[in-house]
């Protein structure tokens, strides 16, 4: 059966000088192509971007705020992952 609810898409745009795509919002559209066209019209009217990704919202999986501690904590005690952990004698240059 055809439903009249158009699915929701999340929109990501990489700006002209941007290095990465950034989430800017969402649009409703019947299909992928319409989602791209709607995203272009709604989010790039003033030259905001040079590349658009759209993805159906139902395909996104997100971390849960209540799991935040358990999920991210393990990296806190691995301080040797940071360059500041290592001491280098004064006078060593370009490092």
**Which residues contribute to the site for another protein (CB under 8 A)?**
2-6, 8, 25-28, 30-31, 34, 38, 41-43, 45-46, 62, 64-66
Token duo for residue 75: 């990296």
Q: Residue 88: phi, psi to the nearest 5? A: -125, 135
Give the nearer residue to another protein in terms of CB position, either 64 or 87.
64
Tell me how far, at minimum, the Cβ of 67 lies from another protein, in Å. 10
The enclosing H or E element of 25 equals: strand 22-28
Q: How many CB atoms lie within 10 A of CB 87?
A: 6
Cβ of residue 68: shortest distance to another protein, in angstroms?
Answer: 10
Q: Residue 16 in 3-state DSSP?
A: coil
Of 48, 26, 50, residue with least CA distance to 39: 26
Measured from the CB atom, is 1 or 92 closer to another protein?
Answer: 1
> In the complex, what is the shortest distance from the CB of residue 27 to another protein, in angstroms, rounded to a whole number?
6
Residue with tokens 């001491």: 87
Whichever of 53 and 88 has its CB closer to another protein, that residue is 53
Q: How far is the CB of 20 from another protein (least distance, A)?
A: 17
């Amino acid at each position: 059966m055809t439903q009249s609810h158009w699915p929701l898409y999340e929109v990501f745009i990489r700006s002209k000088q941007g290095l990465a795509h950034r989430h800017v919002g969402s649009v409703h559209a019947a299909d992928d192509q319409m989602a791209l066209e709607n995203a272009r019209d709604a989010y790039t009217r003033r030259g905001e971007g040079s590349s658009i990704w759209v993805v159906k919202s139902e395909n996104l999986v997100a971390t849960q705020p209540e799991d935040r501690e358990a999920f991210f904590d393990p990296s806190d005690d691995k301080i040797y992952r940071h360059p500041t952990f290592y001491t280098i004698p004064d006078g060593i240059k370009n490092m």
